[in-house]
Chains A and B, each alone.
Chain A
Amino acid sequence: MSTRTLAVVSAGLSVPSSTRLLADRLADAAVDALRARDVDVRTEVVELRDHARDLADHLVTGFPNASLRPVLDTVAGADGLVAVTPIFSASYSGLFKTFVDVLDRDALDGTPVLLGATAGTARHQLALDHALRPLFAYLHATVVPTGVFAAAEDWGGTSISRELGARITRAGGELADLVAARAPAAADDPFADVPSFAALLHGEA
């Protein structure tokens, strides 16, 4: 059986960041759940901070540079995606949105996605459902029912943090179910389905 790829995108800005920490735990949960289903998987982690300038350049020039191109290809070609952003001013961060903005329009069409978000306070948690979910609905991604939000208090050693762990496990299992049920992603070739000129001429394309 072919190895599946799980792309893990973190828009955290500090090093280390709680956003990356959540992304890693979500990815681990999904990998464990996939292996439990006898699905071989490898993860590709993308730290958007490393590509902040590449993303700004892309906005200006209209093309991804040599550093950003493989990242976009990895995400577009992945069998599943874990995407985690800090919540800034009641929504996903600008860096996170910029990354989404430069993805090809159909890059995540049908891709199983697990969404996560972090913030200093739990008062931001509905941003997952009010901001992130509609964004990925626009992209035609298949978003798992459980989104995972982690505020500062979730990282403490209390019963709350045990609840975070349970949510992570449940969300990872949901992502694994979707990835395992899907045929492996095929590489996209923009030249593969160009309509013939006869079709173009007769308005069939």
Chain B
Amino acid sequence: MKYKSTLFRYSGYVFLLPYMALFCAFLVVPLCYGLVLSFFDWEMISPFPPKFIGLGNYGEALTSPYFWKALWATIRFVIMIVPSVVLGALLIALLINNVPQKQESFFRAAYFFPTIISISVAGILWRWFYNTEFGLFNSYLQNLGIRVHWLSEMKWAMKSIVLMTLWWTIGGAMVVLLAGLKQIPDQYYEAAAIDGANAIHRFFYITLPLLRPVLLFVIVMSIIGSFQVFGQTFMITRGGPELSTRVLVQYIYETAFSNYRMGYGAAMSWLLFLVIAVFSLIQFRLIKER
């Protein structure tokens, strides 16, 4: 036991060293660096060195119609997708929770399956589904004499993205919720059944309250993820029509890596971070306090 000297105890940090080196280099440093960067005007391809402009980038973003348009597109997407994913996943999880073990694993795997497809493959696939001339959807709708411009009409474009995202992501939320349902002890339901509670009572008085922490987790993760939507719009609509589906991450991507305005891109990343933080906090408050 002589070994347990202070030096020996600290030497255990050697185990942490490789990870902490990466953690610092690619998480902590970039986080701070990005914040500093956001106060500079820096065009990477221009010969001028970065110039400190204080809150200039933030001011530019907040007065730019393009920023607001991108933020609005993002929020529209979040407002449509988060409730659909959470409610849809909850419904599927509740149904799957009621079938025998064998079918349960099959259904769980089936609904989860699309989430492991790469976004570029999923995007190409759905782009074909949505194609106006020979897309799968319109081939069937044609028989009814309907032709929908899924991607080129303002009123449909974002909804098409949402529908595809629903297919692509609902399985992940469902699996977590289903695991949460499994943790609720059966005794509670048994007791309630003896007291004559019907399915609706059981859902509202047992399932929902006991599922709340898991539900909160799923909602917050879904919000954080949805605000960062990029692949879908990049692959399927490229931000069109008339920039109505150009979401913030795509705008940041274009600002930083097509126009090489690094400072402005970093500033918008931080603004998006703030928006996400505010939404997540509101969510925590709403659910925790009830």
Pair from one complex: no
